[in-house]
Amino acid sequence: MRALVTGSNGGIGTALVQRLRDDGFDVVTLDVAPPADLVLDLERDDVPALDDADVCVSNAGLTTILSPAHRMSREKWERDLAVNLSGSFRVVQACLGGMRARGFGRVVVMSSVSGAFGAPGQVAYAASKAGLVGMVRTIAAENVRRGITANAVLPGMIGTPAALGMPAEVVDRIGGRLMPMGRMGHPEEVAALVAFLVSPAAAYITGQAIGIDGGAALNTVSLGRPGADG
């Protein structure tokens, strides 16, 4: 089977490509810059029909546009949504025709815990990632009787090269809230979840938003004495 992976040159993308190849998929890569089988700017370029993709993993996205809501410029807002939301939609849409014709397909879209819980300083990013969940659930509903599943994966803080390259004081500041396990997630752990969702074992799972965040979404504040839980 053939799998398309967008954002294939990034930390999570690289892990996705390797894992799916290890699982026997013929992987087609897409990124904004080489090396990739398809070099496309999802903000500006047309996406060709991808009718031969049995699996679509939409992973490409921007994470670096920073601005609080009251200072967010129209240009920044529109760029974030153009890549993260509209770009993802156009890639999935390009794959759906072939999937519907064959009566089989697996769609996995990379959202974020920010889409579920917000992200101060990243209002456009959080909005775009929340929009992906609604998109996925709609695609799942429209295709549930056609052998096609669609799910969203919501990573927390993952130890990609970009995240590991942040200043130590930034990691320390956000670590207690975003890393209750005391560590970042590994890209390979995200890839393992995606590999499961596109496998035959996950054929009955569709329309879900699945977090992989090391407990970042949990309330870990205790009203008891520190350490009382043992």
Annotated catalytic, 125? yes
Q: Domains, the chain, ranges and CATH?
A: 2-210 (3.40.50.720)
This prediction's pTM? 0.92
Q: How many whole angstroms separate alpha carbon 41 and alpha carbon 33?
A: 8
Determine the pLDDT at residue 130: 97
Helical spans, DSSP H, in the chain: 11-22, 74-81, 88-102, 113-117, 123-143, 161-164, 168-178, 187-197
Residues of the chain with pLDDT under 50: none
Confidence (pLDDT) at 50: 97
pLDDT digits (tens, 9 = 90+) for 163-200: 777 777 777 776 666 778 888 999 999 999 999 999 99
59-83, pLDDT tens digit by residue? 999 888 888 999 999 999 999 999 9
CA-derived radius of gyration, the chain = 18
Instruction: Name the catalytic one among 54, 99, 109, 125.
Output: 125
pLDDT of residue 226: 55
Task: Give the pLDDT score at 229.
Answer: 55
Half-sphere exposure of 38 (CA within 13 A, CB side): 20
Please tell me the distance from the alpha carbon of residue 157 to that of residue 86, in angstroms, as a whole number: 24
Q: What is the pLDDT of residue 163?
A: 77
